[in-house]
Amino acid sequence: MKKNYISNSSESQRMFKSDLLESLSKVPFYVPLIIYIPFIIFISWKSFTETPIGLLGYLALLVAGLFVWTVTEYILHRFVFHFHPTSDFGKRIHFIFHGVHHDYPNDAKRLVMPPSASIPLAALFYFLFSLVIPTDYMYAFFVGFIGGYLFYDMTHYALHHSNFKGGFWKKLKKHHMLHHYSDETKGYGVSSAIWDDVFKTQFQEKEQGNR
């Protein structure tokens, strides 16, 4: 497999001529927490005060939303973020959305999704889910879905900037580092490797032992 350029720098190249667009492409890791934790609290409150589902229903729908997020995370990473267009414009869009992260994996301000991208995507997913999920169930379901996204973003940052001593987190970090430094056509799961096992995109044991 052809090796791509990978920088060891903690910075990355400028992507936009516009200072505004460039600033919108970078974000500290805690910004999604500031945005989405209040949102999660708000829609949880609406679920308990405006729907009849109760605590057990809320928890069941939350788990369902979290499960759907794990599938969505895998699909987005594999088929959207790693779709490689052939046109110059398509290559430019791919670099902006994900290619820059693979070229500059140590840039701390391009490890979580900027609000300029995550908020429109969240609104789109909310609209799509609302077409098939009844209103009474939607709030609790979306708590799980957005909570899953938030966990993914924080996990992604931690995998690049934390040293884990053992257990689940060390194994997950090795899984993600192999995706970056060994073979980007495998290991699409970030917050969990379960769907790589299901869809046969997991690294083999001999590959995992090389790092």
Residue 2's pLDDT band (cuts 50, 70, 90): very low
Evaluate if residue 168 carries a pLDDT over 60. Answer: yes
Q: Indicate the DSSP class of residue 81.
A: I
Residue 105's pLDDT band (cuts 50, 70, 90): confident
pTM of the model: 0.88
**Identity (one letter) of the amino acid at 5?**
Y
User: Which of these, 174, 171, 144, lies nearest to 71 by C-alpha position?
Assistant: 144
Summarize pLDDT for 3-14 with one digit per residue, the tens: 556 666 566 677
Question: How far from chain centre, in Å, is Cα 125?
Answer: 14
Residue 109's pLDDT band (cuts 50, 70, 90): confident
- pLDDT at position 102: 81
Q: Which helix (H) or strand (E) holds 197?
A: helix 194-198
Query: What is the Cα–Cα distance from 139 to 49, expressed in whole angstroms?
Result: 11
Min mean pLDDT across 20-29, 111-120, 157-166 is at 20-29
Query: What is the Cα–Cα distance from 201 to 199, expressed in whole angstroms?
Result: 6
The pair of structure tokens assigned to 133 is 């999920």
